[in-house]
């Protein structure tokens, strides 16, 4: 049962009145190995993030390159509603680069954990505090809003973390950020840590969680549950190594679990994900929550049946909420309801007998490991619709010659639209030779490509029945399946290929 924010507060969930979304796709997201965005690409993404309604956009790390300063300036000149942020180490020159980029919000950081102190910075605790404080004071003196990050906070001694935070708060820090730099938190540990910080500091708390164990979204939710005021996120969960908390996952989980609407236009998530995927070259896996191809795809008969009656049966939110769409996939788990719905979508009417045949064909395709595309379905159904199955091409003769040190040769005789033709061709094996001969004989009628060839022995023994299943396509990309069972593997193959070629011809003649 979903609870609203007031109920949750009454139940002692320490939710902040306002939860800020700080998007770092253009900074941490760009640190994804192999990703580099041009100035124009950064501008495109910043505009979309702004239209989505994120509170803050970390536009880059200005001290790291001239291009970063240029893109930050250009994004600033767009006069977006989102607050723009620049990253800076706790160094005056880095903060100057943020100022030179026309930004007035700096996210400054320094490593605080023993590992960072000893192996990266080679600084004592005192020096870390002094450096952090000077940076915050310098930025405040230059009129900037300052968010301070204690890098690797989650592996920092608690008393030292608090010492650093206390000192930067005194120096004027406006936000305290808690980076889980190598993603080691769990929701329960996050709860303890953030509750402790909230109990000891009144400055707004931000979290920046990495996803090394796949927990960044869960940990960010946990942080918000005990009062975190801001969450760092990236589109598609991009970022260093395995990435950061995913923007779309966090926002939708918060909405689904607690009914908390952060006011973002979530219907833009899917198109934004695609844009970022295209520009960064990091494509999402099909099972990526919210924006993956399968996020609203259904195949199994039981699920599709439920979905067709009421989509809530197997969907936690509607695809429209995130600008995605529902997809019924046909395959080995398909049920009759799914097929009926699909055929209806394509306005294809089949009688019971034709429907059964199409259904069997789809199941068989699924069993052979294939997922049936919409094009496959249309091809199969149209073929079935031409009930008086003409067979424009009929096999009239086949002889094979094979032997040691000779190329396998197939002599094939076909009747094509009533005219007999014969030829002999060689190949790497008898099936290949036969296909070459068929291709030659039909070349004036149709040019085909063999997209899939599957051979299975149905029974055992040397006289086993062979079942061949093929998919062929023509130059117009029409596709057709073909199937045949025979005791002779070569014959089964030829008949399956001719079956599919005849279907292709029927599809072409029907168009
Ligand atoms: O992961 C991290 O610690 C960072 C810092 C720069 C905040 O990205
Ligand atoms: Zn990070």
**DSSP three-state, residue 280:** helix
* 272 in a structural domain: yes
The DSSP bridge partners found for residue 177 are 149, 206
Same domain, 236 and 172: yes
Which range marks the domain in which residue 104 is found? 5-10+17-280
CA distances from 423 to 349, 398, 411, 430, 433 (A): 41, 10, 6, 14, 11
* 286 in a structural domain: no
* 257 in a structural domain: yes
Surrounding residues of ion ligand 2, Cβ less than 5 A: 28
The average pLDDT across 417-446 equals 93
Same domain, 49 and 154: yes
Distance (Å, whole) CA 137 – CA 174: 11
- Could you tell me which residue, 61 or 346, shows the higher pLDDT? 61
| Phi, psi torsion values for 425, nearest 5 degrees | -140, 155
The CATH number of whichever domain residue 417 belongs to comes to 3.30.160.270
Pocket test for ligand 1, best of 86, 115, 120, 149 (most atoms within 8 A of CB): 149
472 lines ligand 1 (CB under 6 A): no
* 292 in a structural domain: no
Q: What is the pLDDT of residues 464-478, one digit of tens each?
A: 667 788 889 999 888
The average pLDDT across 13-30 equals 96
Closest CA to 43 of 29, 59, 32: 59
Same domain, 346 and 214: no
211 lines ligand 1 (CB under 6 A): no
Same domain, 269 and 314: no
Q: What is the pLDDT of residues 186-229, one digit of tens each?
A: 999 999 999 999 999 999 999 999 999 999 999 999 999 999 99
Q: Where are the beta strands (DSSP E) in 6-121?
A: 20-23, 56-60, 83-89, 105-111
Per the CB < 8 A criterion, the answer to whether 336 and 359 are in contact is yes
DSSP secondary structure letters along 139-174: HHHTT-EEEEEEETGGGS-HHHHHHHHHHHHHTT-S
- Counting ligands in written order, the one closest to the CA of 206 is 1
Query: Of ligand 1's atoms, which has the minimum distance to the CA of residue 31?
Result: 8
The average pLDDT across 116-120 equals 98
* 85 in a structural domain: yes
Per the CB < 8 A criterion, the answer to whether 493 and 453 are in contact is yes
Helix, strand, coil % in the chain, rounded to nearest 5: 45, 20, 35
User: Which residues, at least 6 apart from 38, have a Cβ–Cβ distance to it below 8 Å?
Assistant: 67
User: Which residues, at least 6 apart from 332, have a Cβ–Cβ distance to it below 8 Å?
Assistant: 363, 366, 367
- Ligand 1: distance of its center to the CA of 5 in Å? 30
- Counting ligands in written order, the one closest to the CA of 177 is 1
The average pLDDT across 96-121 equals 98
Q: What is the pLDDT of residues 281-326, one digit of tens each?
A: 999 999 999 999 999 999 888 998 899 899 999 999 999 999 999 9
Closest CA to 253 of 290, 211, 228, 288: 290
* 419 in a structural domain: yes
Give the residue, by CA position, lying nearest to ligand 1 atom 8.
28
Q: How confident is the model at residue 1 (pLDDT cuts 50, 70, 90)?
A: very low
DSSP secondary structure letters along 405-474: TS--EEEEEEEETTEEEEEEEE-SSHHHHHHHHHHHHHTTT--EEEEEEEEEESS-STT--EEEEEEEEE
Per the CB < 8 A criterion, the answer to whether 113 and 156 are in contact is yes
Cα-based angle 326, 332, 337 (whole degrees, multiple of 5): 55
The DSSP bridge partners found for residue 105 are 145
Number of separate domains in the chain: 3
Q: What is the pLDDT of residues 227-281, one digit of tens each?
A: 999 999 999 999 999 999 999 999 999 999 999 999 999 999 999 999 999 999 9
- Ligand 1: distance of its center to the CA of 111 in Å? 9
Same domain, 359 and 403: no
- Ligand 2: distance of its center to the CA of 139 in Å? 21
């Amino acid at each position: 049962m979903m609870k609203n924010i007031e109920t949750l507060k009454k139940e002692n969930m320490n939710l902040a009145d306002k939860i800020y979304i700080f998007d770092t796709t253009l900074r941490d997201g760009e640190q994804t190995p192999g990703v580099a965005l041009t100035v124009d690409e950064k501008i495109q993404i910043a505009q979309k993030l702004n239209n989505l309604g994120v509170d803050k956009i970390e536009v880059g790390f200005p001290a790291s390159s001239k291009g970063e300063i240029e893109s930050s300036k250009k994004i600033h000149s767009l006069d977006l509603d989102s607050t723009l942020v620049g990253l800076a180490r706790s160094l005056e020159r880095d903060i100057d680069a943020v100022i030179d980029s026309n930004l007035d919000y700096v996210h400054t950081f320094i490593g605080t954990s023993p590992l960072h102190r000893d192996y990266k910075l080679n600084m004592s605790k005192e020096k870390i505090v002094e450096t952090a404080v000077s940076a915050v004071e310098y930025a405040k003196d230059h009129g900037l809003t300052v968010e301070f990050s204690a890098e690797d906070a989650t592996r920092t001694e608690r008393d030292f973390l608090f010492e650093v935070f206390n000192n930067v708060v005194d120096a004027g820090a406006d936000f305290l950020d808690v980076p889980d730099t190598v993603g080691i938190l769990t929701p329960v540990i996050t709860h303890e840590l953030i509750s402790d910080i909230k109990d000891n500091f009144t400055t707004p708390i931000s979290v920046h969680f990495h996803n090394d164990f796949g927990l960044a979204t869960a940990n960010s939710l946990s942080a918000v549950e005990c009062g975190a005021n801001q969450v760092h996120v990236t589109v598609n969960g991009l970022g260093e190594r395995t990435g950061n908390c995913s923007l779309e996952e966090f926002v939708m989980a918060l909405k689904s679990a607690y009914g908390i609407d952060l006011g973002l236009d979530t219907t833009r998530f899917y198109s934004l994900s695609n844009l970022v995927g295209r520009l960064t070259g990091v494509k999402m896996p099909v099972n990526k929550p919210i924006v993956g191809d399968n996020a609203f795809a259904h195949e199994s008969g039981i699920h599709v049946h439920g979905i067709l009656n009421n989509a809530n049966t197997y969907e936690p939110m509607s695809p429209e909420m995130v600008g995605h769409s529902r997809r019924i996939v046909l395959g080995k788990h398909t049920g009759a309801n799914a097929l009926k719905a699909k055929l209806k979508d394509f306005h294809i009417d089949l009688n019971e007998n034709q429907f059964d045949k199409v259904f069997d064909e789809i199941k068989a395709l699924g069993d052979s490991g294939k997922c049936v595309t919409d094009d496959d379905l249309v091809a199969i159904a149209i073929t079935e619709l031409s009930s008086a199955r003409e067979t424009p091409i009929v096999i009239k003769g086949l002889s094979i010659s094979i032997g040691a040190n000779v190329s396998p040769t197939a002599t094939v005789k076909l009747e094509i639209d009533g005219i007999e033709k014969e030829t002999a061709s060689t190949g790497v094996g008898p099936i290949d030779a036969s296909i070459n001969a068929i291709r030659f004989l039909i070349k004036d009628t149709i040019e085909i490509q063999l997209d899939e060839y599957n051979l299975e022995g149905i029974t055992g023994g040397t006289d086993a029945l062979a079942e061949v299943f093929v998919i062929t396509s023509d130059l117009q990309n029409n596709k057709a399946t073909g199937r045949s069972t025979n005791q002779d593997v070569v014959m089964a193959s030829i008949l399956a290929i001719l079956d599919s070629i005849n279907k292709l011809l029927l599809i072409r003649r029907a168009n």
